[in-house]
Amino acid sequence: MLEDRTTAVSAGTPWPAAYPQGYAVVDVETTGLARDDRIISAAVYRLDGRGEVEDHWYTLVNPERDPGPVWIHGLTSEVLDGAPLFADVAEEFAARLDGRVLVAHNAVFDWQMIAREYARAKSEPPVKQRLCTIALSKELGLPLQNHKLETLAAHFGVVQRRAHHALDDARVLAEAFRPSLRAAAAGGVRLPLLECRPLTEWSQTPRIGQQASGGGYRPSSWRPSRRRPACPYPNPGRFEDGSPLRQGMRVAFSGDTSTERELLEDRAVEAGLHVSTSVSRLTSLLVTNDPDSGTSKVVKARQFGTPVVDEAAFGQLLRDVAPAGTPAGER
C-alpha cells in the first residue's frame, strides 16, 4: 500500500543518497501553447530534499500582448497591464530555481516556456534537471484514471481551490509531490529526472533545417526521431465528428503546427492516444493545418477516408478524452 510505504520512510527508513537535495515545484500560466506565447503568471514552491515546503513565491507577468484564453486563467489585459515584464522578475525567478530540480505537471511544457522567456531576456535559467509528476506517477504505478493534475490531487486527498491559478496549482502539485516522493524513496524507485538544456531559439545562429532570419525565430520542420512506449489501450476505431476522442485512438500529424510538435505529441500520449508516424486504414484521425496540401499523409487520409481536423480543434478535443472502453457517443 502507498500509505504504508510513505509511513515507513517518515518513520526513519534511510533516504536514497542519490535523490536531489531540493526541488522547485513550478506552475506557469500562459497566453497559449505555441512557441511564441508568453508567460502571464508564475509560482514556485521551494521544497527540501524530502519534499517539505520551505517557502513559496508568485508573480503576475505582463506578456506585452493579448492574454489569450481568459476564460481559463482569468487574467485579463487590465489585470496584467501594471504587472512587471518577465525581464523584471527573471532574477528573482532564477533565485527560486537555483540549484534545484524543477518539478512540474507535464514538465516539458513549463520548462520550454520558462527557457524561452529567459532566451528572450538574453539569459539562462539556473536549472539542470526537471522532473515530471506525470512520469513519476507512472513509475509508481498509481491507479489513476487519467493524468490530469486534478486526478493526481484527488488521489492524495489534496483539495484544489483555484484551478489554473499558478499559485494554487503549484501548491496542489507540491502537496501531491510530497507523498509521491516518499513512496518512491520507500520503494527504491529511480526518479525520472531529465536534463534541462537552455533554448537558443532567439539567437543569431540558425538551427539545423532552418534558414537565418535576422535573429528572429522561425519554426523548423526538422526534429530528431523519438521512440515512444506502446499505447496500452486498443484502438477503438475512427474519430467521429461530434463525439470525443477515446483512449487508444491512432492520431497522426502532418505539416507545420503552431504548438511545438513534440509537445503536441506528448499531450496526445498523456491523454492515452497512440501517436502514429504514418497514415493507414487503422488511423483514427489526422491533424493538419493544411488539409489541401499534397503531403503523403494528407493524400492517404483522402484515400482511406480518415477524418481530418486542424490543430485548434484537436486542442479542444484533448481537453476531454473519453476513457478506453467507452462506447462511441457515450460518456
Q: What is the pLDDT of residues 255-288, one digit of tens each?
A: 877 677 778 888 898 889 999 989 999 999 999 9
DSSP bridge partners of 274: 250
**Confidence label for 291 from pLDDT (cuts 50, 70 and 90):** confident
At 273 the three-state DSSP class reads coil
At 206 the three-state DSSP class reads coil
Max avg pLDDT among 66-70, 205-209, 225-229: 66-70
The cell for 236 is 477503438
Max avg pLDDT among 11-15, 169-173, 209-213: 169-173
**Confidence label for 34 from pLDDT (cuts 50, 70 and 90):** confident
What is the distance between the alpha carbons of residues 24 and 45, in angstroms, rounded to a whole number? 6
Cβ count near 138 (within 10 Å)? 15
Strands (DSSP E) along the chain, which ranges?
22-30, 39-48, 53-60, 101-104, 129-132, 193-195, 250-254, 274-276, 285-288, 308-309
| Cβ atoms of residues 116 and 35 within 8 Å | yes
- Tell me the whole-structure pTM to 2 decimals: 0.65
Note the pLDDT of residue 5.
37
